[in-house]
Chains A and B, each alone.
Chain A
Amino acid sequence: MPRLSLRTRIGLFFLALGLAVPLVVVGPIWFGRDLLADALAGGDVGPLLLLGGGASFVLIVLIVGVWVLFDTNIAESVERLSGDLETALYANPDHWIDPRPGRHLGRLPEVLRATVKALAEARRDTDRRVAEATGGMEQTRARLAALLNELEEGVVMCTLDHRIQLYNRASLRLMQRGEAEVGLGRSLFGFLNRQPFFHGMERLSNRLHDGRHRDHPDGLALSLVCATTDGRGLLRGRMNLMTDDSEAPIGYLLTLKDATEELAALGRRDHLLDRATNGLRRPVAALNAAAWILDVRDPPPESRRRFTRIVAQRAAELAALVEDNAAAYGALLEGHWPMTDIWSANLLNGVVRRLRDRGTVDAVMVGLPCWLHGDSTLLVELLDHLIGRVHDRYGAEAFDLEAHADGERITLEARADADRVTLEVVWTGDPTPYTELESWLETPLESGPGEITGRDVLMHHKTDLWSQTTADGRACLRLPLPKGLERRSPRPALPARPEFFDFDLPTGDRRRGDEPLRALTYVSFDTETTGLNPSAGDEVVSLAGVRIVNGRVLTGESFSRLVDPGQPIPPRATRIHGITDDMVAGKPKLTDLLPRFHAFTRDAVLIAHNAAFDMKFLTLKQEACGLAFDNPVLDTLLLAVWLHDHETEHSLDAVAARLGVPVSGRHTALGDALVTAAAFLRMIDLLESRGVTTLDQAIAAGNQMVEVRRQQERF
């Protein structure tokens, strides 16, 4: 039998209801008419009342029944469907609309599903077209990113209120020295001292205002020197004011270079020059006057003794000054010659390859490589030059090349100097006589720059070279060199596709209550713990957060650390997050990490799923660190409840699935923080459709849910 239409079914239902009324009222009167007539004749209205009461009761039962049916089949279904519809419309186009509750609503659920499907397809289509259209832009962006990140100079673009809009890898290395982490939307002054920038901005604004920039050789740029906030670094930079088409300033571009060493060397040079000129004036004046007296005036013996002593003392003083100046000059020379840290294997390989190409000599690199400090090109030239001479002179054809840090093995030199690395060229034969080696050093290198000699190379490296016999009776040349710094830490990591610029940074306070939700800066964070009870001593084993600026999750600016909880991690906790005691051994304590995390969350609204739980861990420790996490907090759990109160399941997985957020890396702190961040961004649309547009309103919505939940718990 074909299913009757919704209207027919409802019509029949109400027809039955209508027929039931006379049945309930007239039926009993008909069946009890004799009894009723007798009672009425005897003046007794009791049975009549009983009859009326009974009929009324049955009618009330019918009405309640009808209400229940309508509520469950119509009202609740309509509510669920509209909730689903909203989710599909604003958050997740692929949200599945459950047809079961709507089976009494005729074709409505089917029609809705079809509509949502069509909408999702239309959106995908639009997205595809947009993606195609922006493909070219993406490529340009990727090239720009590669270019910026390979630059040796730091490049930073700032808004007029000195917040970072763009930065590259080199700028990270230059600016990021202390606790604070460089990031989009952060103030430049967290890293660099503000005075030069205020001053520079003022000068450039004035230049622009007066129109002088049109003829100015530097246009709208100027050079500046600034210090990092920790006072350890000096940067030399160029500030370039950027304007829009109407010549209104919109921000500025900074290029930065590390000038710490350069400026220190300049300072040393100035100091030396001052000492070499002005420092000599006083002793020479005294010497000169005393000598004049002795020479021209022939003073009496008493005075003669006195002035002779002055001459002798001042002459000695001058000699000492000359020595000092010579030493300072030597140090300065070394500082001037461009030197770098070199991996000895690369250096010696350069020599080996060169000798092999020539084919006369066979050199082998032995020993463990180490870092040394010098000019790679000159050292290769020098070694090549000397080995060639040894070969010509003694016919030696096999050489061992080795670099070793002194003290690592017994050498003839008793001096073990921790600051030096010694390069050794070893061959079987006699050591080179001193005078011969000296003459080799005096001849210009074959292919060195200019007429540079081996002696010059040694002078630049502030060292010397000699030949001696090794412990096993072979001959060697020994060349000590400054040790290199093993600071070759990997370059500051930027993720594969870093969000390193944002030209649309909103203005105003990034966490003010009446700011639109979209304009705020957030840190979505999560903790993994030893258990569920922070007040009873459970501790954090992992803490992670990721920034959201201007509606984008900046995966490149995340914070993720393992934490030593100071207690064994229970196996049931490890089963959840996979973090073991071994993994946290030697990691910092939470109290050591919190200042860094606090700096990371500065100016941001905190977001977490079930935030009360995670916040508790932070607030329990904040006092010990002298910090206060007084940021506004939004809880995605409470917001989910507020948005979808008909849904019973509000776990992060369920919320993410409902909002169409792909889930990966769950139950790692960073993974959960990322999922929470993505879910929150989808919620913003839904919240706005319900009239919640500002931070205050969102917090109020969450608090409302806290109240509701509290009341529910009471029942």
Chain B
Amino acid sequence: MNGSVLVVDDDPDLLASLEFVLVDAGYTVATATDGPAALAVVENRPPDLILLDAVLPRRDGYDVCQTLRADPDPTVRGLPVLMLSGRARREEREKGLALGANDYLTKPFAVDDLLHRVARLTNGRKA
């Protein structure tokens, strides 16, 4: 196993595709469609990486990211986050990275590029 990834996106089609791609690449995948659900998953079983959509219902990706980084549990606090966003402006990318994302990818993205980044971020955390 390559490790576990939590994929958070409110677009069910993209969520399904990402799940397929990551499972296919040997990862264990959990999914969530909004901010609170993602945080609940992290609480129960922290993954090795979170793929986090920036725009989410209820609590958006930036909010989730900041909450994680403020968590008392050092494991949770240190979870790698790869932020996916439908917004490409430079300041939005900077905002994501400033709020604690380890990497930032703009939609649409090349799947190979995504897998490459996921591998890099989960490196050394293999289960």
B30 interface residue per 8 A CB criterion: no
Alpha-carbon separation in the docked complex, A296 to B13 (Å): 18
Cβ-based interface call for B37 (8 A): no
User: Is A119 an interface position by the 8 A CB rule?
Assistant: no
Contacts of B21 in A (CB 8 A): 289, 292-293, 297
Taking a contact as CB atoms under 8 Å apart, the answer to whether B87 and A286 are in contact is: no
Interface residues of A in 113-153 (CB under 8 A from B): none
Interface core residue of A287, A293, A303, A306 (most chain B CB under 10 Å): A293
Beta-carbon contacts under 8 Å, A162-182 to B? none
Q: Are the CB atoms of A310 and B108 closer together than 8 Å?
A: no
Are B20 and A285 closer than 8 Å at their CB atoms?
Answer: no
Q: Is the CB–CB distance between A278 and B87 below 8 Å?
A: yes
Known: A281-B106, A286-B11. Contact between A310 and B86, CB under 8 A?
no
For the complex formed, measure the closest distance between the CB of B69 and the CB atoms of chain A, giving whole angstroms: 25
* Interchain CA distance A672-B108 in the complex, whole Å: 77
Residues A303 and B13 in contact in the complex (CB < 8 Å), given A282-B107, A288-B111? no
- Known interface pairs A281-B108, A292-B111; A286-B17 also in contact (CB < 8 Å): yes
* Residues of chain B within 8 A of A292, CB atoms compared: 17, 21, 111
**Apart from A277-B88, A293-B17, 11 more pairs, CB < 8 Å:** A281-B107, A282-B11, A282-B14, A284-B107, A285-B14, A285-B108, A286-B14, A287-B108, A297-B20, A297-B24, A307-B16
- Name B84's closest neighbour in chain A (CB-CB): A285
Q: Is the CB of B86 within 8 A of A290?
A: no
Docked pose: A310 CA to B18 CA in angstroms = 13
Interface flag for A473 (CB, 8 Å): no
Q: With an 8 A cutoff between CB atoms, is A299 at the interface?
A: yes
**B1-53: which have CB < 8 Å to A?**
11, 13-14, 16-18, 20-21, 24
List residues of chain A with CB within 8 A of the CB of B20: 293, 297, 299, 303, 307
Residues A66-123 near B (CB distance < 8 A): none
Closest chain-A Cβ to B3's Cβ sits at a distance in Å of: 20
A contact residues around B11 at 8 Å (CB): 282, 285-286
Q: Which residue of B lies closest to A279 (CB)?
A: B86
Distance of A593 from chain B, by nearest CB (Å): 53
Q: Which residue of B lies closest to A310 (CB)?
A: B13
Instruction: Identify which of residues 428-466 in chain A touch chain B, using a CB-to-CB cut-off of 8 Å.
Output: none
Closest 5 CB pairs of A and B: A285-B107, A289-B17, A285-B108, A281-B86, A284-B108
User: CA A48 – CA B22 in complex, angstroms?
Assistant: 150
Q: Is the CB of A307 within 8 A of B86?
A: no
| Cβ–Cβ < 8 Å partners of B88 in chain A | 277-278, 281
CA A288 to CA B111, docked complex, whole Å: 8
- The answer to whether A411 has its CB under 8 Å from any CB of chain B is no
Contacts of A290 in B (CB 8 A): 13, 17
The winner among B20, B24, B106 for most chain A CB atoms within 10 A is B20
Chain B residues whose CB sits within 8 angstroms of the CB of A277 once the complex forms = 88
Chain A residues closer than 8 Å to B87, beta-carbon distance: 278, 281
Q: How long is the Cα–Cα vector from A307 to B111 in the complex, in angstroms?
A: 15
Evaluate contact between B16 and A310: CB separation under 8 angstroms: yes
Q: Does A314 contact B (CB under 8 A)?
A: yes
Given contacts A278-B87, A286-B11, contact A307 B107 (CB under 8 A): no
Q: A281-B88, A282-B86 are in contact. Are A296 and B17 (CB under 8 A)?
A: no
Assess whether A360 is interfacial by the CB under 8 Å rule. no
Instruction: Give the chain B neighbours of A195 by CB distance below 8 A.
Output: none
Which residues of chain B are near A306, meaning CB under 8 Å?
16
Complex Cα distance, B24 from A293, in Å, reads 10
Q: Is A313 an interface residue when CB atoms closer than 8 A count as contact?
A: yes
Cα A659 to Cα B11 in complex, Å, equals 86
Q: How far is the CA of A287 from the CA of B108 in the complex (A)?
A: 9
Per-residue 0/1 for A291-302: is the Cβ within 8 Å of any B Cβ (1 yes, 0 no)?
A: 011001101000
Q: How far is the CA of A414 from the CA of B106 in the complex (A)?
A: 51
Complex: chain A residue closest to B107, CB-CB: A285
* Least Cβ–Cβ distance between A54 and chain B, in angstroms: 120
Chain B residues, CB < 8 A from A314: 13
Q: Could you show 12 A-B contacts with beta carbons less than 8 Å apart?
A: A278-B86, A282-B14, A285-B84, A285-B86, A285-B109, A288-B109, A289-B111, A293-B111, A297-B21, A299-B20, A307-B16, A310-B16
Q: In this complex, what residue of B is CB-closest to A299?
A: B20
* Residues of A close to B109: CB separation below 8 A: 285, 288
Q: Which A residues are in CB contact (< 8 Å) with B16?
A: 306-307, 310
Residues of B89-120 at the interface with A, using a CB-CB cut-off of 8 Å, are 106-111
- Name the residue in A278, A297, A299 with the highest tally of chain B Cβ atoms < 10 Å from its Cβ: A278
Q: Would B13 and A288 count as touching, CB distance under 8 A?
A: no
Residue of A nearest to B111 (CB): A292
The distance in angstroms between the C-alpha atoms of A18 and B84, with both chains bound, is 126
Q: Is the CB of A310 within 8 A of B24?
A: no
CB neighbours (8 Å) of A310 from chain B are 13, 16-17
Complex Cα–Cα for A338 and B114 (A): 47
Distance in angstroms between the alpha carbons of A314 and B14 in the assembled complex? 10
Tell me, in angstroms, the Cα distance from A521 to B108 when the chains sit together: 67
Rounded to whole angstroms, the CA-CA distance of A307 and B106 in the bound complex is: 22
Cα–Cα distance between A297 and B87 once the two chains are bound (Å):
28
The residues in B between 46 and 77 inclusive whose CB is less than 8 angstroms from any CB of A are none
Q: Which of B18, B86, B106 contacts A289 (CB 8 A)?
A: B18
* Alpha-carbon gap, A307 to B17, bound state (A): 8
In angstroms, Cα B11 to Cα A313, docked, is 13
Q: Give CA–CA (A448, B86) in the complex, Å.
A: 44
Please name all residues of chain B whose beta carbon is closer than 8 Å to the beta carbon of A293 when the two chains form the complex: 17, 20-21, 24, 111
**A376 CB, nearest partner CB in chain B, Å:** 41
Q: Smallest CB–CB gap between A688 and chain B, Å?
A: 67
Smallest Cβ distance from B84 to chain A, in angstroms?
8
Distance in Å: Cβ of A287 to nearest Cβ of chain B: 8
